[in-house]
Amino acid sequence: MLYLIFMTLGVSLLIQAAFFAFAATFRTDKVTDLSYGLTFVLIAAILLAGGTPADPPQLVLAAMVMLWGVRLALYLLYRIIHMGRDVRFDGIRERFWAFFQFWLGQGVAVWVIMLPVTIWFAAPGDWTPWMSIGGTVWALGLLIETVADAQKFAAKRRPAGGARWMTTGLWKYSRHPNYFGELLCWWGVFVYVAGNYTGWSWIGLVGPVAITWILLKVTGIPTLEASARKKWGDNPDYQAHVRRTSRLVLWPPRSV
């Protein structure tokens, strides 16, 4: 188990280092999110190759991670090509050490989020009912995240699309449905493997807890909410939208 844990940490950091060298040299944001999704894909592929690729539980788990990572990487790459730059890095990409710290943190984050998968591959088990449940939760999350991303991107591409907050589609029922879908994906992955966990394996719980903390408290929702308040905080309609709409979980709007 320790070998795989440290090996995946090394792989994650090496991938980030390679992409960081390119991003810092050309001061570009175009590979930042691409590297994030691809790191999950490559780690899953390595774990599968070192296991038994023909074993259904191993193949399905690796496919879950790889499909999620490929979709995210391609979507974010397509988005940044059209956006040109990521405003999150304004004032950071020009400062070497600040930029480096972001990439280092990204590498560590991927490694931590992947811990439940890495630990399971150290001692993979047979198919359990939990795998069916976890796979279903993961699939629902992927569908929600994909639809929410597509709806928002389409809205932003329309003339003056960035001048108003999202209130259509899944965004009518949550202010951040894409993050809700992402969390379902990773909690689904954890449920998938947890049926085979024993003893120290339960340290894998840190993976879904970490991504939940990151999205709810660090770089996900707090960053976007702060940006939205800066744009529309004085708008009564936006204030009503915040009071009416669930912050994360898909839920019918409240009466205000």
Supply angle C-alpha 129, 53, 106, rounded to 5: 85
Q: What is the pLDDT of residue 256?
A: 65
Each residue's pLDDT tens digit, 63-93: 999 999 999 999 988 888 777 666 666 667 7
Q: Is 255 among the domain residues?
A: no
Q: Is 249 among the domain residues?
A: no
Which domain covers residue 33, as residue numbers?
Answer: 2-244
Distance CA 187, CA 175 (A): 20
Q: Is 251 among the domain residues?
A: no
Average pLDDT, the chain: 92
Each residue's pLDDT tens digit, 4-26: 999 999 999 999 999 999 988 88
**Residue in 177, 16, 223 with CA at minimum distance from that of residue 110:** 16
DSSP-derived secondary structure letter, 214: I
Cβ pair 75, 154 in contact under 8 A: no
- Number of separate domains in the chain: 1
**pTM, whole model, 2 decimals?**
0.94
Q: Which two tokens stand for residue 69?
A: 């990572």
Q: Is 178 among the domain residues?
A: yes
The residues near 141 (Cβ < 8 Å, ≥ 6 apart) are 180, 181, 182, 183, 184, 185, 186, 187, 188
Helical ranges in the chain per DSSP H: 2-26, 32-50, 56-83, 96-113, 115-122, 129-157, 177-194, 206-213, 221-232, 236-244
Average pLDDT over residues 156-173: 87
Cβ pair 169, 148 in contact under 8 A: yes
Q: Is 121 among the domain residues?
A: yes
The residues near 161 (Cβ < 8 Å, ≥ 6 apart) are 155
Q: Is 201 among the domain residues?
A: yes
Residue 171: pLDDT over 90: yes
DSSP-derived secondary structure letter, 92: T
- The better pLDDT of the pair 28, 51 is held by 51
Each residue's pLDDT tens digit, 144-160: 999 999 999 999 888 87
Cβ pair 211, 140 in contact under 8 A: no
Each residue's pLDDT tens digit, 106-140: 999 999 999 999 999 999 999 999 999 999 999 99
Torsion of CA 46, 100, 73, 78, to 10 degrees: -150
Q: Is 250 among the domain residues?
A: no
Q: Is 16 among the domain residues?
A: yes
